[in-house]
C-alpha cells in the first residue's frame, strides 16, 4: 500500500462528499416539482401517454404501475432481441439472440442488474444496445429512484397510504436528472478517448501478420448511463477494463464518482424530505464507514499479494519499476489501488461494472465485493435501491432499540408496529433466500456443475458470487462460471427478477403503511437517529444480520481458500 494509492482513495471520497449536498438539493427539487426548466417537454410526455400528473396514487396503485411498466418493457426487450437479425443498425449482421439468452438479458436489464453472460460486441447489434439495453439503463435506474422517493414520502408525510404518482416520478427522474448528467458525462468520456460512432467493425493486421477485428460503436453514451444509473453492463465483454470504455485514469475516476454520485446525494435528499438533514448525514456516515472498511481490506489484500507467488520467485514487492502485490487480472494503467477501489465501489453500489477481474483477486480481496453484495448493496447502493435498502435496516435498528428500552419503537415520529416489521423482514429474508437456495441447487444439480470451471472452495465462491450478484441486482461476476446455458440463463434470470421485485413491493407497502400513521413529536423516550450511537448501532445491525446469514457459506469458500493460500496450498 502506497501514499499514492491512499491519495487516490481520499480524492475519490472527497469528490463524493462534495457532490452530496448540491446534487441532493437538485434531486429534491426534481421530485417535488420545483425544477421546472423542462416543463414544456414534461407536459407533452404526460399528454401523449395519458398520464394525469395531479393524481396521487395509493401505494397499491403505485406498486402496480411500477410492476406493469417493468413487465411491459421487459417483454418488449425480449421480442427485440429475438428479432435482432431483421432490425436496423446491425452492420455486423449479427444473428437473433437465443431464447434463453434473450430472457436472461431482458430480465437482467429490467431489474437494473445488467448481468451479461455474453460478449456484447459479438452478440448485440447497435440497435439492441441503444434502443433496448440503454433504454433500460435509464428506466431501471429511474424505477429505483421512484421506489426510494415513494418510501421517503411515506415516512415524511401523513397521506392515507398515498405516495405520489409513479409515472410523474419516472418521467422526472429520467428527464431532469439522468439524461442531462449522462450527456455531460458522455462528452467528458469522449474527450478522454472513449469512442462514439456507428462505424462497422475494423480489421487490422498485427505485426505477426494475423488479422484482428476491432469493435466500434456508440460506446461513450452507454458508458455514461451505465455508471450514473448504477447499471454496469458494458458495451464490450471486458467492460470498464476495455480502453474504448475507460481509456485513462481520469476517466476511471469520473466513472467511480458517477457510480456513487446519485446514491450518496439521495441520503441528503431524504434528510431534507423528512426535515431532518442530520439524519440524512447519519445515513451517509454509516454508508461511508462500511465503504472505508471494505476498501481498506481489499486494498490491503491485493497490495500484499499472494504468498505462493512470492515463494516461487515472483517479485510481489513494490518498487519504482514494479507494481508489486497481486496484479493478475488488473490493468497497468489503473494499478492495484484504483482496481481495489473500483471493485469496492461497484459492489457497494448495485453497479457491477468492473475495471479488473474479481475472479483473479486474492481470496480476501475477492470476498470484499462478495460481502458488499450480500449485505444488500446498501453502502450507498444502487440508484434508489441503496437508500430504500438502508431505510429498511434503519426500521429494524429502531425496532431493536425500542425493544431494548421497553417501549414502542418510533422512527421520525411514526410508530413501528407489527405490519411495518413484517414488511421489513420480508425484504431482509428474500435476498439471502434467493442467494443460498440458488447456489445450493447449482452445486448439487448436474446442469449447475457443468458450468463450473474450477473445483474446491474457489468454485463454490464463483457460484455463490453469481447468485449474490443476481439476487442483489449487481451484475458483476467471478469469471470462472460458464453462465450461458439454459440452466444458468433461466435460473439466474428468475433470481434477478425476484431480487428486484420481491423486494420492491414490500418496501413500497412499508411506505404506504407509514404514510397512514400520525406524526408524533419527539419525547424523552424517542431514540435519536442522528448521532454516533445511532450510526454505530445501525452498522452493527447490518453487519450482524449479514454475518449470521452468510458466514457459513463464506467459511467454505473465500475464507478456507485464504487459509489454504497462507499454508501454501493451491486447489
Q: Whose grid coordinates read 431494548?
A: 404
Closest CA to 8 of 294, 455, 502, 342: 342
Q: Compute the distance between CA of residue 60 and CA of residue 509 in angstroms, rounded to an integer.
A: 7
What distance in Å separates the CA atoms of residue 571 and residue 559, rounded to the nearest whole number?
A: 13
Helices 179-192 and 219-228: angle between axes, nearest 10 degrees: 130
Q: Nearest CA to 125 among 101, 95, 150?
A: 95
Q: How many CB atoms lie within 10 A of CB 508?
A: 26
The count of C-alpha atoms lying within 13 angstroms of the C-alpha of 528, restricted to the half-sphere facing its C-beta, is 10
Q: How confident is the model at residue 525 (pLDDT cuts 50, 70, 90)?
A: low
Residue 571, pLDDT > 60, answer no
- Beta-bridge partners for 218: 196
pLDDT at residue 318 is higher than 80: no
Rounded-to-integer distance, Cα 86 and Cα 103, Å:
19
Q: Quick check: 223 and 189 in contact, CB under 8 A?
A: yes
Stretch 406-417: mean pLDDT, rounded? 83
Of all residues in the chain, what percent are helix, strand and coil, respectively (each to 5)?
Answer: 65, 5, 30
Q: How many helices (H) and strands (E) does the chain have?
A: 22, 6
Please write the tens of the pLDDT for every residue from 361-402. 999 999 999 999 999 888 999 999 999 999 999 999 988 888
Asked whether residue 310 carries a pLDDT value surpassing 90, the answer given is no
CA distances from 171 to 41, 132, 401 (A): 10, 17, 38
> Can you say whether residue 472 is alpha, beta or left, with left for phi > 0 and alpha for psi between -120 and 50 degrees?
alpha
* pLDDT, tens only, 101-158: 999 999 999 999 988 888 888 899 999 988 899 999 999 999 999 999 999 999 998 8
Torsion of Cα atoms, 419 then 421 then 424 then 428, to 10°: -130
**CB-CB contact of 93 with 134 (8 Å):** no
- Arithmetic mean of pLDDT over the chain: 91
Sequence ranges of the domains in the chain: 385-566
Please give the pLDDT value at position 529: 87
* Mean pLDDT value across residues 38-51: 93
In this structure, the number of other CB atoms found within 10 A of the CB of residue 95 comes to 11
**Per-residue confidence band for 186, with pLDDT thresholds at 50, 70 and 90:** very high
Q: Write down the pLDDT at residue 107.
A: 94
How many other β-carbons are positioned within 10 Å of the β-carbon of residue 298?
Answer: 29
Here the cell at position 435 is: 442467494
Q: CA-to-CA distance for 76 and 36, rounded, in angstroms?
A: 31
pLDDT band at residue 536 using 50, 70 and 90 as cut-offs: very high
Mean pLDDT to the nearest integer, 176-200: 94
Strands 162-164 and 57-58: antiparallel
**Residue 481 reports pLDDT greater than 70:** yes
Q: What is the mean pLDDT of residues 394-414?
A: 84
Give the containing element (helix H, strand E) for 82.
helix 59-82
Instruction: Single out the residue of 369, 504, 71, 313 nearest to residue 379, CA to CA.
Output: 369
CB 58: neighbour CB atoms within 10 A?
Answer: 15
Overall average pLDDT of the 458-469 stretch:
91
3-class state of residue 355 by DSSP: coil
Task: List the end-to-end C-alpha distance of the chain, in Å, as a whole number.
Answer: 27
Whether 315 shows a pLDDT value over 80: the answer reads: no
DSSP code of residue 240: G
- pLDDT classification of 69: cutoffs 50, 70, 90: very high
Amino acid at each position: 500500500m502506497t501514499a499514492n494509492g491512499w491519495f487516490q482513495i481520499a480524492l475519490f471520497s472527497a469528490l463524493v462528499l462534495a457532490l452530496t449536498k448540491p446534487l441532493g438539493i437538485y434531486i429534491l427539487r426534481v421530485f417535488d416539482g420545483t425544477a421546472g426548466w423542462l416543463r414544456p417537454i414534461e407536459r407533452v410526455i404526460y399528454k401523449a401517454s395519458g398520464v394525469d400528473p395531479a393524481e396521487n396514487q395509493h401505494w397499491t396503485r403505485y406498486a402496480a404501475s411500477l410492476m406493469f411498466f417493468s413487465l411491459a418493457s421487459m417483454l418488449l426487450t425480449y421480442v427485440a432481441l429475438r428479432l435482432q437479425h431483421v432490425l436496423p443498425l446491425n452492420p455486423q449482421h449479427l444473428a437473433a439472440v437465443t431464447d434463453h439468452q434473450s430472457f436472461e438479458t431482458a430480465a437482467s436489464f429490467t431489474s437494473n442488474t445488467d448481468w451479461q453472460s455474453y460478449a456484447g460486441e459479438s452478440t448485440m447489434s447497435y440497435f439492441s444496445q441503444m434502443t433496448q439495453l440503454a433504454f433500460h439503463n435509464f428506466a431501471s435506474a429511474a424505477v429505483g429512484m421512484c421506489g426510494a422517493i415513494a418510501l421517503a414520502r411515506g415516512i415524511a408525510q401523513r397521506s392515507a397510504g398515498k405516495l405520489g404518482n409513479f409515472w410523474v416520478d419516472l418521467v422526472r427522474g429520467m428527464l431532469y436528472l439522468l439524461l442531462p448528467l449522462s450527456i455531460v458525462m458522455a462528452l467528458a468520456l469522449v474527450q478522454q478517448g472513449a469512442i462514439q460512432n456507428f462505424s462497422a467493425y475494423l480489421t487490422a493486421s498485427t505485426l505477426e501478420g494475423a488479422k484482428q477485428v476491432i469493435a466500434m460503436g456508440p460506446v461513450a453514451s452507454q458508458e455514461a448511463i451505465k455508471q450514473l444509473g448504477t447499471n454496469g453492463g458494458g458495451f464490450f465483454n471486458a467492460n470498464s477494463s476495455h480502453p474504448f470504455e475507460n481509456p485513462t485514469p481520469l476517466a476511471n475516476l469520473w466513472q467511480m464518482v458517477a457510480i456513487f454520485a446519485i446514491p450518496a446525494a439521495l441520503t441528503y435528499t431524504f434528510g431534507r424530505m423528512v426535515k431532518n438533514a442530520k439524519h440524512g448525514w447519519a445515513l451517509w456516515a454509516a454508508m461511508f464507514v462500511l465503504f472505508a472498511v471494505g476498501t481498506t481490506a481489499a486494498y490491503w489484500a491485493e497490495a500484499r499479494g499472494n504468498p505462493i507467488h512470492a515463494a516461487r520467485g515472483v517479485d510481489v514487492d513494490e518498487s519504482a519499476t514494479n507494481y508489486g502485490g497481486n496484479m493478475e487480472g488488473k490493468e497497468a494503467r489503473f494499478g492495484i489501488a484504483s482496481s481495489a477501489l473500483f471493485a469496492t465501489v461497484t459492489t457497494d453500489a448495485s453497479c457491477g461494472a468492473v475495471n479488473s477481474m474479481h475472479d483473479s483477486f486474492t481470496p480476501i480481496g475477492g470476498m470484499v465485493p462478495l460481502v458488499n453484495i450480500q449485505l444488500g448493496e446498501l453502502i450507498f447502493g444502487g440508484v434508489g435501491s441503496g437508500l430504500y435498502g438502508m431505510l429498511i435496516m434503519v426500521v429494524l435498528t429502531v425496532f431493536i432499540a425500542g425493544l431494548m428500552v421497553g417501549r414502542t419503537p418510533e422512527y421520525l415520529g411514526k410508530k413501528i408496529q407489527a405490519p411495518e416489521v413484517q414488511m421489513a423482514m420480508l425484504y431482509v429474508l428474500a435476498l439471502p433466500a434467493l442467494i443460498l437456495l440458488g447456489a445450493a441447487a447449482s452445486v448439487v444439480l448436474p446442469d449447475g456443475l457443468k458450468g463450473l470451471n474450477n473445483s474446491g472452495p474457489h468454485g463454490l465462491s464463483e457460484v455463490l458470487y453469481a447468485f449474490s450478484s443476481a439476487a442483489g441486482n449487481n451484475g458483476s461476476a467471478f469469471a470462472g462460471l460458464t453462465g450461458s446455458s439454459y440452466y444458468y440463463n433461466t435460473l439466474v434470470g428468475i433470481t434477478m427478477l425476484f431480487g428486484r421485485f420481491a423486494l420492491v413491493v414490500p418496501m413500497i407497502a412499508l411506505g404506504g403503511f407509514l404514510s397512514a400513521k400520525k406524526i408524533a413529536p419527539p419525547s424523552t423516550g424517542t431514540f435519536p437517529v442522528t448521532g454516533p450511537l445511532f450510526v454505530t448501532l445501525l452498522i452493527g445491525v447490518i453487519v450482524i444480520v449479514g454475518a449470521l446469514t452468510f458466514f457459513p457459506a463464506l467459511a467454505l469458500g473465500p475464507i478456507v481458500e485464504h487459509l489454504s493460500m497462507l499454508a501454501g496450498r493451491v486447489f
